[in-house]
Amino acid sequence: MKASVPYYAPSSGSRVPGWSERALAGAVSDRHLALSALKEILIRQFDECQQQQRKCDPSLGDLEVEYLKSAVRSILRYSSEARHFARELFKDLTEKEPRYASFYVTPPYLIFHTPGDKLEVGTIHSDTIREGGEMFTCWTPVNAQQLTYPALSFFEGSHTLLPHLAYRIFRKLRIKAIAEETLLDLTGVNKLDLVPNRDSSYFWDSDLLHIGNENTGGVAHCAMVFRVSQDPLYYEPSAKCSDLINSNLSDLPNPGVGEVAGQIIAAAEIAKSAPNVLEGNDATKKWVDSVYVQKSAHQERSAKYLSFAFALIAQRFPSHPLANAYYLMSFIYGKENLVGIERVLTGCTESRQREGILDMLGRTESFDSSQEKVLLGKFGIRPRSNLRSVGASAKLLSWLN
């Protein structure tokens, strides 16, 4: 069964747009305002940290700026404000469409676009993950001001059968003689450039093609994203919507951007001493042990910040010589984004390398989550240690813990 788009209400010229808009109201709006207020505080701290660092190093590079951006993203992801907002948003959703109570939702993810930042400009894509079953995305602006530029472009109707199949064939054959947008236009797809309302949430079908556009405004733009699926997505912690709605959330103070960025920078120094981690040799084992020692010096919450941050940093700089070290560090610090270990295993050219990495991690880690079971199943491999944990009774790696 194909997922419907929650709160479906066509708001454009297309009969089957594949997306909908929902104005925030009541408790959802209150929590959204609190989240936006926190985000504005963190953005001011981000700007101050960046100015201070540029005084010391006028040639501050994109990687160093990414450390600061990852700090903002991490703080917001694990903040009480984000969790309260998520709970009220999905409570509202399931009250209107009860069947989604049994679906799973990913943790808060912050889109963070500074003005003119080319690294954040997206490409045409969909959000479908094969293992997720029915899926849709929820995207909410988190800004003190109303945007004046089209942050998103939707290719309306691209989730329907004919355009969807045509586009898949197009991508598989890597046809270069025709532009992607031209192809979609020929199949009856309408491109809609959306200037999102500050006080609304947007929902779209996971198969809907869309793109995140360059920030041509004068201030940073942020949005909070959740992916909702029939089955839990394997690449990060998950939570059933009903569990999120009924969770007891304690309010925790948030650290500053400078504090978290300092922890990221300190951990990045450890990455500089990493050997080629894909080899999984004695030098790699020694380095991995040093990362575990460094992790033990952190409280659980700060370790999660680091786990998430290094997965983000490596994804934004995939050709960086330390990208695989960052990915491995992400897994060691907290399994907050299993894309990291997936990319490491994908980078191995021989099965012995994959087995060596899993054996090395298996000295400390229990591969005991349902997400890890799915991930390892994609490669057809299992660690030789801690096998008892990988089985039918595997637990869900939850972000509500």
Q: Of 171, 183, 160, 169, which Cα lies nearest the Cα of 19?
A: 160
The answer to whether the beta carbons of residues 207 and 128 sit under 8 Å apart is yes
Whether 241 and 266 map to the same domain: the answer is no
Which tokens in the block code for residue 327? 């990915």
Whether 316 and 230 map to the same domain: the answer is no
The answer to whether the beta carbons of residues 100 and 244 sit under 8 Å apart is no
Residue 133, Ramachandran bin (φ over 0: left; ψ between -120 and 50: alpha; else beta): left
Report the distance separating Cα 339 and Cα 235, nearest Å: 5
In a domain, 6, yes or no: no
Last residue within a domain, chosen from 245, 279, 295: 245
Last residue within a domain, chosen from 224, 245, 266: 245
Residue 14, Ramachandran bin (φ over 0: left; ψ between -120 and 50: alpha; else beta): beta
Whether 46 and 180 map to the same domain: the answer is yes
Report the distance separating Cα 274 and Cα 251, nearest Å: 37
Report the distance separating Cα 321 and Cα 314, nearest Å: 10
Report the distance separating Cα 263 and Cα 235, nearest Å: 24
Quote the domain boundaries for residue 125: 19-245
In a domain, 334, yes or no: yes
Last residue within a domain, chosen from 245, 280, 303: 245
Q: The tokens 């009924």 sit on which residue?
A: 246
- In tens digits, what is the pLDDT along the chain, a chain of 401 residues? 344 566 544 444 445 688 999 999 999 999 999 999 999 999 999 999 999 988 888 877 889 999 999 999 999 999 999 999 999 999 999 998 999 999 999 999 999 988 888 777 778 888 989 888 999 999 999 998 899 899 999 988 888 767 777 777 776 666 655 567 777 777 778 889 999 999 999 999 998 989 999 988 888 899 999 999 999 999 999 999 999 999 988 888 999 999 999 999 999 999 999 999 998 888 999 999 999 999 999 999 999 999 999 999 999 999 999 999 999 999 999 999 999 999 999 999 888 888 889 888 988 888 889 999 899 888 887 665 554 454 455 789 999 97
Task: Give SS3 for 381.
Answer: coil
In a domain, 307, yes or no: yes
Task: Give SS3 for 168.
Answer: helix
The total number of structural domains that make up the chain: 2
CATH number of domain containing 238? 2.60.120.620
Whether 208 and 277 map to the same domain: the answer is no
Whether 208 and 348 map to the same domain: the answer is no
| φ and ψ at residue 301, rounded to 5 degrees | -65, -45
Q: The tokens 């994609």 sit on which residue?
A: 378
In a domain, 26, yes or no: yes
In a domain, 113, yes or no: yes
Whether 175 and 48 map to the same domain: the answer is yes
The answer to whether the beta carbons of residues 337 and 326 sit under 8 Å apart is no
